[in-house]
Amino acid sequence: MPKSSAKHTTDADLELLADLGLDTAPTPTVQRSAREERIIAGFEDIERFVAEQGRLPQHGEDRDIFERLYAVRLDCLRESAECRAVLEPLDAQGLLNADASLIPEAEDLDDAALLASLGAEAAEDDVTQLTHVRSRQEIKAAEEVAQRTPCPDFAEFKPVFKQVQQDLTTGARQTLKYQDNAEVNPGDLFILDGHKVLVADMGEPFISDYGRSDCRLRVIYDNGTESDLLLRSLQRALNKDKTSRRITTPDLGPLFSQVEAEDDLPSGYIYVLRSKSDHPFIAKNRAVIHKIGVTGGDVKRRIANAKKDPTYLLAEVEIVATFKLANINRTGLEALLQKFFADARLDLELPDRFGTPVKPREWFLVPLAVIEAVMEKIQAGTLDQFRYDRETATLTRL
């Protein structure tokens, strides 16, 4: 068919449609401002979310950052008459009128401002590319540590800090590097951000929104301020501060001196032995009877003549554990261990090779696992907060 005939047929069709009362004028192209295009683009992001998730975007700290952004944006669009005028003709899903909880109004729809209110910053060229984003948990932790108020009863704590400083000066106390997420207990002392910190009180434990155990602390600072913060917030702050330290108790301090003294060991060992004696009581309880000692020499050489020495129960022994030491006061450490396990000392009398009764002093009824736990407490500077319960063969908190 010639091209002119096709055009004639089309014109005839248009005339027929006009006779039927239908508007045959071409739909004009809508010219939108840049702001209107931006409003529509933002709304389309929300429509895509609803199509993919099958629900409206929700507020809440447990929600994805972009879902929270869309929830904020949708609330703002609903509240703006200008935005509704642009979007209502395009709102095929009825999102502008769907039920949802509203948040306080935002004065504009700037994505950077909305992200800032959520604790994030947007990249200049793409709102979905976030930089320097912090979780709400991190923000709360920072706020809690920063929120220090004057301590009304600081007069009661001032002498404590004065004595601690004196102990540090004389060497009665020492400072240890804080170990990540190490235990924190009432009475513990730390150095945080250059200040001495005392854990004055610890509230009842509870389970946080994140399913982890936590509790509220009262923390006193040596500058006369205090903070009511969570245990995990303090641990995070101590972890973050690379110069944070734990201040030891007077009893444990000298054992961990950072300055080498005359009696310190360049190297040495805590050793744990188990007897091979055929004595009925020892044979029956062999798994929980251990000798705990400290030496600066070779352990194997030290026990070479065990079967002739009452110290070793006049029998061969086996080495079941050793713990390497450095810059440790040997005499003080050995005395500390024997004092800690004094109630579990083996009460046994044996005749030596001359028939003279002897009573060894360095053997204890203690499982190896408990000895290992005590080594950890000594290293952390918290052994003074525990005692050994011989009846249950466990460490219990004082």
Percent of the chain with pLDDT over 70: 72
SS3 354: coil
pLDDT for 8 equals: 46
For residue 92 the two structure tokens come to 């095929």
- Let me know whether 289 and 321 are in one domain: yes
Q: Which residues pair with 149 in a beta bridge?
A: 226
pLDDT score of 257 more than 60:
no
Residue 115 within a domain: yes
Q: Quote the pTM value.
A: 0.38
List the single range of 272-276, 280-284, 381-385, 388-392 with lowest mean pLDDT. 381-385
In a domain, 388, yes or no: yes
**Confidence check: pLDDT of 336 > 80:** yes
| Mean pLDDT of the 109-120 span | 49
Looking at the fold, whether 180 and 201 belong to one and the same domain comes out as yes
- Ramachandran quadrant class, 269 (left: phi over 0; alpha: psi -120 to 50; beta: rest): beta
The pLDDT assigned to 19 comes to 65
- Which pLDDT belongs to residue 33? 83
In contact, 219 and 226? CB cutoff 8 Å? yes
pLDDT for res 226: 92
Of 107-111, 146-150, 159-163, the range with the highest mean pLDDT is 159-163
Domain annotation covers residue 67: yes
Residue 41 covered by a domain = yes
Whole-angstrom distance, CA of residue 156 vs CA of residue 298? 50
Q: Is residue 125 part of a domain?
A: yes
User: Containing domain of residue 160, as a range?
Assistant: 139-247
221 and 277 inside one domain:
no
| Collapsed DSSP state (helix, strand, coil) of residue 214 | strand
Dihedrals phi, psi of 330, to nearest 5 degrees: -60, -50
List pLDDT tens digits, range 275-318.
998 888 888 888 889 999 888 778 888 888 888 888 888 889 99
Is 253 part of a structural domain of the chain? no
Domain stops at, among 115, 133, 151: 133
Whether 349 and 279 map to the same domain: the answer is yes
Whether residues 318 and 355 fall in one domain: yes
**Out of 14-23, 86-95, 169-178, 266-275, which region has the weakest mean confidence (pLDDT)?**
14-23
Express as a percent the part of the chain with pLDDT over 90: 8
Q: How many folded domains does the chain comprise?
A: 3
Do 70 and 121 lie in one domain? The reply is yes
Whether residues 286 and 235 fall in one domain: no
Q: CA-CA distance, 369 to 169, in Å (whole number)?
A: 36
Residue at 196 is within a domain = yes
d(CA 332, CA 214): 36
Please, are residues 201 and 217 in contact by the beta-carbon 8 Å criterion? yes
